[in-house]
A and B are shown apart, each in its own frame.
Chain A
Amino acid sequence: MKSGKIIGILLLLIYVCVATAMLNDAFIKPYNLQNLLRSSSMFAIIGIGAVLVIVTGGIDLSTGSLIGLVGCTMTMMLKAFKENPPFENGAWLLWLIGLELLLVGIGWAIWDQVLRKRLGPGRHYTGKIAISLIGIVFLAISLAVERTAVGEWVTMAAAVGLALWLSAHLGLLHGLLITKLKLQPFVVTLCALMAYRGLSRYLTGDKTQGLGTEYNDSLRLLAIGKPCTATAIMLFLAVIMLVVGIWKTFISRRSRSTPAQKTNGIIILIIGAVLACVSSSRYWDGWKTQFGETIATVAGFQLQFFSLEIPEAAVARPATLMAFAMWPMLLCFAGLAIWSAKKSWWAQEKSPRQIMIWLLPAITVAVSLFALLMIKQWIGDQTVSLTDMSSAFQGSVDSAADDQFVLGINVILLKMLGIFLSMAALFGGILWLGKIWTKQAGNLGRGLWILTGFFAVLWLLSNTAIHETPVQTPFFILLIIGALSALFLNKTVYGRYFFALGNNEEATRYSGINTDLVTIMAYVLCALCGGIGAVLFTLDSNNVEPSGHGSFYELYAIAAAVLGGCSLRGGEGSILGVIIGASIMRVLYNAPDMIGIASQLEMFTIGFVLLIGIIVDETARRMAANRDRKVVAEPLTPLTATVPPQESA
């Protein structure tokens, strides 16, 4: 997918964070950030599942109920294993999986070669033999460990394994129903949604399943463990991005030929550099006593120079690398902007229309940010409880003092509306900018836009104690799953088939691709992601309410996927996008809480902000299109003078 789109939603995420942080700095307090990171990661995992299915042109509505069902069975299983361990340890699960694989491999071979006589040249045995071999390996391992006493963790592993096994098979069921019976994905997964919910209520007798405190130091660490702080992660990411960036800009031969690739490389490089500076400056706490003092002053001076507000705590920290790298980095930026401006902006995009297009949404964003600040001033630290709100809606005068009314309208209501509307305008403005980003390629505009995002991040970071913010295990699980699925989608044969299938099923079939297999794969992988999510959600919340656990999560997953650039028509989507999308959803969910609005309004906020945002975005697009049409009527400069540079070498 186009990287422009990703940068667009990344900026969206940044600005939504900025807005929320402006309204309440509790938003970027370590505790909140930690929770936000954890929940975003878990939702991103199920979002990845949704992407995999949506890319092939399908949809999976069953994820939420699957999470409920798998969560229930897992807790029940854990309890049951605890009371009477099956076969001493969990080897039987391996045995089960091994046997199944072996049977499938052999059965498939028999079906194909004997019953359907699909004889022919080629490597048609490999898949089946591989499956059987893996089955045998599993069987062997299970036999080997059967008599050894391995300890409690195996029972736990078995319960988790069983949960994943179950979800993968439910996915297989969906896939088989959709491909072999030619049912519509929507219908199949909708039925599944209802069936699984009912089943989990029945299995548990509608009783809440709890794990108690027993697993706090073992299994639950999967969801709530705190292996390291955000600083370490940022440093790690920075190193990776720097390496990738350097590779893309300077070494890879391919990127030298296409300018788009090169810009991507530069962008990655810059982000990596920023991350490295920021994170390292906080990481080397120990340097403080030696020469940190002066450096801290320099860094503080710099930040003040940009009139960024720095909390005491942050100023007190030494900022080693940041202090050194900040100026050259900014010079780079300025240079880049001027260079690109000279090169492309003035050369061909002089028309005021271009500037307008960038300016309008930028003003929208700026104004809504400012509005939020003002509202914040007005509200102060006051929170809005549900009773306040209901009285506001009913206009019950007696319960409220006179000063709570402005022009006869309840103040609380006004404030709320103000916040919602400015949030929504902000959202829309950025979506709009993001679209322009992908459509009109003015480098100056892009440079400026990145610059603002960069400062926004700096502002956020300068207010955040990232070295005190723990990153929890789900984030790492997300990293692994994200990396694997991104590799799968973009680099492997089957990933390509996913995209092809989503774009044009018939042409894919005519290209000799087993579309049924690809579809089934998508649903299995989606359910598997759902299953991993289920395990994490269950361990995180520690008790599972059969009728509510995970409900609506499928919609969050789908929304995250769509926000992250998936097309529901299929054939388009990206893993990075869905991860950012899921984070945006979580921030929006978190925002009302932070702003002091009753938590009952969480869902309302998400819906409202998304809707208004999309309306603003869409209206803007129309306006721009209409302007385009009017401009055409004017005589234009000769065409030949402005032929764009050839893109390929």
Chain B
Amino acid sequence: MNRASPPLLEANSLGKRFPGVVALDDVDLQLYDAEVLAVIGENGAGKSTLMKILAGIQLPDQGQIRLSGKETVIRSVEQATANGICLIHQELNLCENLSVAANIFLGREPRRFGLIDERRCLEKAGEVLQQVGLNLPPQELVGSLTIGQQQMVEIAKAISTDARMVIMDEPTSSLSQKESESLFEIIHRLKQQGVSIIYISHRLGEVERLADRVTVLRDGKNAGELARDEISHNAMVERMVGRELSNYYSRTVTESDETVLKISNLRTSANPHCPLSCEIKRGEIVGIAGLVGAGRTELLTTLFGVTPAIDGQITVTGKACVIDNSETAIRHGIGLVPEDRKLQGIVLEMSIRANTSLPTLKSLSAMGFIDAAAERALAESMKQRLNTKAPHIEQPVKFLSGGNQQKVVIAKWLAMKPNILLMDEPTRGVDVGAKQEIYRLMDELAQTGVAILFVSSDMEEVLGMADRILVMHEGQIGGELHKTNFSEESVMHLATGGAIKTETKIA
């Protein structure tokens, strides 16, 4: 890093406000050659907004941006790309009906005689995919990939533009451990090639590993900067939240013998050859670990009825039942916090209020007419309980930051008062403070007797929160771990199809 020369990118006193929200207020940022700069902050601190401004998607209300010392106004994405800035969005932005290759080269298709050179396109896409360690035929449709794979495609797309500055907005939030590892490798490689990277993440462990420097934002303002040797979990948390966080995972186990959910020989449509069986007790928190593509999400969606089971039995509180749509699932007291919040979790155009009440609307109504007061009260109380950051409950959810959107999704299901709560990556994109709140909430729910089944790719989270871990591997439940023999190694061992006999059945 050469600090003497002007920084590659320098933003001075950037400001941006939205109706009712000051997203950025006088924010400075420097990015030097070949460094990894981590930008951290709570949900809604303005990280994504800052990045969108740098990438030309939004215009600042005030402030300047200098590229290598030269003042520049970045007005469009094309201009940003021309200046070597490339942003990988927090939310996926791919065309589902196009192939992986077509998505990677969208707008920059290699041409021959004015037509798209299909072959070269596939070839080059294959190379880039190889680089990011994604073993996929480039002609595969993006819609058929898992979210993690789609995220890798986004990254491949960014790499293929030969950018000098790559901005990654929470890239790992939908990646599995393995995929994350290969992403880190890519980041190292890029750094060696002289590319600078802005890295946004709520997983502070990653930041500790990767970052050369950390810039902290709080409520749209600069809240400090940490040099390489100052970076530590506690220092970061303190600057982000303004106080120290202790007792991160709070779990008070309550024993119960009553089985609320029992599945036997359940065969999901994704993995029809793997019958699944397990039991969950009242007030128990069960984590499902495994690699992406191990069939974890499919298990949850099957239990929730959105992808009906092919065969097998689901027993809810002792009664056998057929759950072939989500309506029935809700009637049985099952809720699902889905994997892809933008697509499945929330209705972007609708307000916080309307989203929160969506699954419970019928119970908030009389003769089919919505009781507006009750609905508002519900949304208001949920907003307070989850500490959602938004000016008011009428704010359309699309204007919320990623983590706050996740809180709305959780609020939706809390409002339903479920008996069984299925959670797919419950803390994806949620900041440390809010994560702690969600963990506390899960614990609280469990203590009131709710059985929670959650899927997570965050190993720490699974180990910290679960009373019992089911590890899935290639569509099967590879093994079960009890609190006494929790360890990262044993989970990984099972997740990669390791020997089952020794690890399991040690009840």
Contact = CB atoms under 8 A, between A and B. Distances in A.
A11 to B, nearest CB: 24
B347 A508 contact: yes
The 9 closest A-B pairs by CB, nearest first: A648-B392, A512-B330, A639-B15, A122-B331, A512-B326, A511-B358, A511-B359, A504-B347, A636-B62
A180 interface: no
Interface string B358-388: 1101100100111010000000000000000
Contacts of B347: 499-500, 503-504, 507-508, 571
B417 to A, nearest CB: 13
Contacts of B343: 504, 506-507
Interface stretch (A112-120, A207-215, A269-277, A373-381): A112-120
A106 B401 CA distance: 48
Contact of B354 (A500, A509, A636): A500
Interface stretch (A317-325, A489-497, A614-622): A489-497
Contacts of B361: 493, 496-497
A632 interface: yes
Given A116-B322, A491-B372, 19 more contacts: A118-B322, A119-B319, A120-B328, A121-B332, A491-B370, A493-B361, A496-B354, A497-B361, A499-B350, A500-B354, A500-B358, A512-B329, A512-B359, A632-B60, A632-B73, A639-B15, A639-B22, A644-B20, A646-B20
A421 B412 CA distance: 52
A181 interface: no
Interface of chain B, helix or strand or loop or mixed? mixed
B344 A492 contact: no
Interface string A558-571: 00000000000001
B100 to A, nearest CB: 22
Contact of B368 (A122, A494, A513, A632): A494
Residue of A258, A508, A512, A628 ringed by the most chain B CB atoms within 10 A: A512
A636 B26 CA distance: 13
11 contacts: A124-B331, A496-B354, A496-B361, A499-B347, A500-B347, A503-B349, A504-B348, A510-B336, A511-B326, A512-B327, A640-B25
A572 interface: yes
B133 interface: no
Nearest to B373: A254
Nearest to A516: B325
A576 to B, nearest CB: 19
A643 interface: yes
Nearest to B339: A510
A182 interface: no
B210 interface: no
Interface string A609-629: 000000000000000000011
Interface of A: 116-122, 124, 258, 491-494, 496-497, 499-500, 503-504, 506-514, 571-572, 628-629, 632-633, 635-636, 638-640, 643-644, 646-648
Contact of B327 (A503, A513, A633): A513
B26 A639 contact: yes
B17 interface: yes
Contacts of A629: 59, 75
B114 interface: no
A512 B319 CA distance: 20
Contact of B321 (A119, A506, A640): A119
Nearest to A633: B73
Contacts of B338: 510
A463 B416 CA distance: 58
Residue of B324, B332, B345, B349 ringed by the most chain A CB atoms within 10 A: B349
Contacts of A633: 73
B26 to A, nearest CB: 7
Contacts of A509: 306, 326
A500 B322 CA distance: 26
B75 to A, nearest CB: 5
A513 B321 CA distance: 19
Contacts of A644: 17, 19-20
B127 interface: no
B259 to A, nearest CB: 17
A489 to B, nearest CB: 11
B394 interface: yes
Contacts of A636: 61-62
Interface residues of B, number: 51
Given A511-B326, A629-B75, A643-B17, A493 B25 contact: no
Contact of A492 (B59, B358, B368): B368
B330 to A, nearest CB: 4
Interface in B409-452: 412
B346 interface: yes
Contacts of B107: none
Contacts of B15: 639
Nearest to A253: B373
Given A491-B369, A496-B354, A639 B62 contact: yes
A638 B75 CA distance: 21
Contacts of B325: 514
A510 B331 contact: no
A504 B358 contact: no
A120 B348 contact: no
A64 to B, nearest CB: 30
B242 interface: no
B402 to A, nearest CB: 16
B348 A503 contact: yes
Nearest to B75: A629
Residue of B26, B60, B331, B345 ringed by the most chain A CB atoms within 10 A: B331
A636 B62 CA distance: 6
B328 A118 contact: yes
Contacts of A643: 17, 22
A503 B344 CA distance: 11
Contacts of A497: 361
Contacts of A499: 347, 350, 354
A496 B348 CA distance: 14
B359 A647 contact: no
B331 A121 contact: yes
A647 B59 contact: no
A647 B326 contact: no
A628 B73 CA distance: 13
Given A119-B319, A491-B369, A632-B59, A508 B358 contact: yes
Nearest to B25: A639
Nearest to A116: B322
Given A119-B319, A511-B326, A647 B349 contact: no
Contacts of B328: 118, 120
Nearest to B361: A493
Interface string B2-26: 0000000000000101011010011
Contacts of A628: 59
A282 to B, nearest CB: 38
Nearest to B15: A639
B321 A647 contact: no
Interface in B115-174: none
B349 A571 contact: yes
Interface in B48-62: 59-62
Contacts of B61: 632, 636, 639
A327 B209 CA distance: 74
Nearest to B358: A511
A510 B345 contact: yes
B346 A507 contact: yes
Contacts of B349: 503-504, 571-572
A171 B467 CA distance: 52
A509 B324 CA distance: 12
B62 A507 contact: no
Residue of B328, B330, B354 ringed by the most chain A CB atoms within 10 A: B328
Given A504-B346, A632-B59, A639-B25, A120 B306 contact: no
